[in-house]
Amino acid sequence: MSHNKSPYAVSVIDLMHRPGEMREKSLDITEVDGFGNAVIGVRQGSEVRIDVRLESLHDGILASGTVDAVAEGECVRCLTDVSLPLEVEFQELFAYSEDEAFDYTVHEDHVDLEPVVRDAVVLALPFQPVCQEDCLGLCPQCGVRLLDNPGHQHEAPVDPRWAALAGLEGLTEGDRPADDTDL
């Protein structure tokens, strides 16, 4: 099985076993499969930019860098599309050894940044994405997006507790019982 096809693979043949050598590289990738959590992620076909510094160490290649991508999903409150620009840092050692102690290894003459980039991005994604911090969600009665409809309300109260309160106010109007000031 070859790993060379991955667009996230970077040749390190010029750095291998030459501690102290260092090189920077940028990759512009069109993500093939997409990745993320259940509610938001980098979609298939989205552009992923990677700026990486590759440093040759005694036991492998240290890859440090940043990933720039846009995650797309839906606001968990109002279901509007959410587009979230991300800039995520990563740093991992790709070891020469195949020992299980290392999560990542140099494959032949290259490193595959894909699992590192995916893990870093997925960790940075919100589990409850919102279109904006003060999103009011949807009207529980008719489903309109409340931010688009300021002052939106219905004739009949939505909440049965409010209905009870409204009835009480009707009955006691002009003869209001104890309120907060008596506490």
Query: Which residues of the chain form contacts with Zn ion (CB under 5 A)?
Result: 75, 77-78, 131, 135, 139, 141-142
Q: How wide is the angle at C-alpha 127 spanned by C-alphas 80 and 64, nearest 5°?
A: 115
Q: Is the dihedral of CA 56, 60, 64, 67 positive or negative?
A: positive
- Look-up: residue for tokens 């990486």? 52
Taking the least distance from each CB to Zn ion, the nearer of 141 and 172 is: 141
Taking the least distance from each CB to Zn ion, the nearer of 142 and 165 is: 142
Taking the least distance from each CB to Zn ion, the nearer of 78 and 93 is: 78
Taking the least distance from each CB to Zn ion, the nearer of 53 and 152 is: 152
Beta strands (DSSP E) in 31-119 are 35-36, 40-42, 47-56, 60-74, 81-95, 104-105, 110-112
Q: How far is the CB of 157 from Zn ion (least distance, A)?
A: 12
Q: How far is the CB of 28 from Zn ion (least distance, A)?
A: 31
